[in-house]
């Protein structure tokens, strides 16, 4: 990840589930979490999304928005959100603009073959629009709880 703690969060404006639009401008004055995941409705991504959904009541009390970001088309995201009752926005970034700006588009390797893809990662942005915390190479287990601890410390 190429983001530095304390730097201004890169601008974004994306279409999201539930007919919503998410943007840096629209979130001004509120802390938020952007988490980047490879593909909707795959085992790891489902676990991660459900963990964030479970944490929503506590995160809401802290005034924090959660937004999931992937390259998936809106139709796939809407199906994923409906299947698992995900109430937070899942945003579509088909051109990789936001994924790249936040440093989550990287060269990966599987079975010796190299390819470009989304690194599972999370960014916490504070109410002033600055990067407060970055989690690269996220392991799903316990991640939502780690994010919650960092938010509580803001």
Catalytically active residues, by annotation: 45
Between strands 131-135 and 121-125, the pairing is antiparallel
Q: Where are the beta strands (DSSP E) in 85-130?
A: 90-92, 105-110, 113-118, 121-125
Give the integer Cα–Cα distance in Å for 59 and 149. Answer: 10
Give the integer Cα–Cα distance in Å for 93 and 113. Answer: 25
Distance between alpha carbon 12 and the CA centroid of its chain, in Å?
12
Q: Please, which residues have CB within 8 angstroms of residue 147's CB and are 6 or more apart in sequence?
A: 33, 35, 52, 55, 122, 124, 133, 135
């Amino acid at each position: 990840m190429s983001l530095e703690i304390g730097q201004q969060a890169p601008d974004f404006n994306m279409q999201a589930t539930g007919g919503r639009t998410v943007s840096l401008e629209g979130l001004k004055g509120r802390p938020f979490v952007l988490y980047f995941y490879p593909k909707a409705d795959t085992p790891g991504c489902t676990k991660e999304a459900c963990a964030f959904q479970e944490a929503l009541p506590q995160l809401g009390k802290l005034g924090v928005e959660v937004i999931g970001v992937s390259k998936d088309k809106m139709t796939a995201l809407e199906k994923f959100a409906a299947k698992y009752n995900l109430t937070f926005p899942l945003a579509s970034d088909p051109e990789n603009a936001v994924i790249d700006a936040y440093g989550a588009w990287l060269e990966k390797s599987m079975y010796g073959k190299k390819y470009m893809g989304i690194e599972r990662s999370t960014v916490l942005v504070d109410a002033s629009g600055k990067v407060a915390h970055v989690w690269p190479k996220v392991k799903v287990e316990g991640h939502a709880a780690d994010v919650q601890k960092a938010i509580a410390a803001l």
